[in-house]
């Protein structure tokens, strides 16, 4: 094979890969952006819980996207939204109070998530993150599964805003390797949370790996012992991808500096 043949073959291979990736991305996002989709009546009262530490740059977008969900607009009496301020030193709390209830909890993402769950009046807890965008049909697609009696939890894939290669990687990850229940986009029954004794709050909550293992692997594994945990491929959310900044040793962003000082995971 000549050099020119190799170039053509390589280009064709990349073109085919790009085509498949585009198809997968469409499969993930076609329905979640459809604000006019059929809306299912919630199976119970729903409490949306959002831990937040120094999120003044992101939380307004996250809250606007959550509160404009088609299912909330149609069935507003079923929903409450709780932001749990995790000892922020910026304007996170002031911004959040313009949109929903704000409570406080000691440092640690799971401490905050737990405090929100305890405070919640809902039968269904929805876990969201303060740096994530939720398309208008996301929540409707996610919580419709609780109309099935044996379902205790539901989660969807998360895509990442960032460089092109990382976006492509996340598309394939979301489709093929969804073995973790992302903390940025899931829902579970409140009674199920307490039935399995919730999160282990004794772990190091400034350690990214320990947090992810507890929230995204251990917790759903416990839930599976008492009911069905559903992966909803179509209910994808979009996280900021700012953790990519950690790879840039020259970055002076507030997020990177807080991580380096050990203030957040």
Query: Per-block average pLDDT, block size 10, for the chain (265 residues)?
Result: 41 58 66 95 98 95 98 98 96 98 96 98 97 96 96 88 52 55 92 98 91 93 97 87 72 81 77
- Give the residue from 87, 93, 81, 98 showing the smallest Cα distance to 56: 93
How far, in Å, are 22, 60, 129 from residue 172 at the CA level?
10, 29, 22
* Structure tokens that stand for 220 in this block: 């759903």
Task: Give kind and range of the element (H or E) at residue 4.
Answer: helix 3-29
Rg of the chain over Cα atoms, rounded to whole angstroms, equals 19
Whole-angstrom Cα distance, residue 106 to residue 195? 24
pLDDT of residue 6: 40
Q: What is the pLDDT of residue 240?
A: 81
> Contacts by 207-216 with C-beta closer than 8 Å and gap 24+?
207/265, 208/265, 211/109, 211/110, 211/183, 211/265, 212/180, 212/183, 214/110, 215/109, 215/110, 215/113, 215/181, 215/183, 216/180, 216/181, 216/182, 216/183
Three-state secondary-structure class, residue 30: coil
Q: What CATH code would you report for 37-260?
A: 3.90.550.10
pLDDT for the residue numbered 257:
83
Report the alpha-carbon distance of residue 213 to residue 206 in Å, rounded.
Answer: 13
Which pLDDT score, from 0 to 100, does residue 62 have?
97
Q: Which of 49, 37, 40, 52 has its CA nearest to residue 80? A: 49
């Amino acid at each position: 094979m000549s050099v020119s043949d190799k170039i053509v073959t390589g280009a064709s291979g990349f073109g085919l890969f790009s085509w498949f990736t585009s198809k997968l991305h469409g499969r993930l996002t076609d329905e979640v952006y459809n604000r006019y989709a059929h809306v299912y009546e919630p199976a119970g009262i729903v409490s949306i819980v959002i831990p937040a530490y120094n999120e003044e740059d992101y939380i307004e977008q996250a809250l606007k996207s959550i509160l404009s969900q088609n299912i909330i607009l149609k069935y507003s009496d079923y929903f409450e939204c709780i932001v749990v301020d995790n000892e922020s030193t910026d304007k996170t709390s002031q911004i959040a109070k313009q949109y929903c209830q704000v409570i406080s909890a000691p440092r640690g993402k799971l401490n905050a998530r737990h405090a929100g769950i305890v405070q919640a009046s809902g039968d269904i807890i929805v876990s969201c993150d303060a740096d994530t965008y939720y398309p208008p049909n996301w929540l409707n697609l996610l919580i419709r599964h609780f109309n099935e009696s044996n379902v205790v939890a539901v989660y969807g894939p998360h895509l990442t805003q960032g460089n092109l290669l990382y976006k492509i990687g996340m598309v394939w990850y979301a489709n093929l390797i969804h073995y973790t229940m992302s903390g940025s986009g899931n829902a579970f029954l409140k009674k199920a949370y307490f039935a399995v004794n919730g999160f282990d709050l004794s772990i190091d909550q400034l350690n990214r790996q320990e947090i992810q293992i507890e929230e995204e692997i251990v917790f759903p594994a416990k839930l599976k012992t008492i009911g069905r945990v559903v992966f909803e491929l179509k209910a994808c959310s979009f996280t900021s991808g700012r953790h990519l900044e950690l790879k840039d040793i020259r970055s002076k962003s507030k997020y990177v500096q807080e991580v380096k000082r050990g203030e957040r995971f």
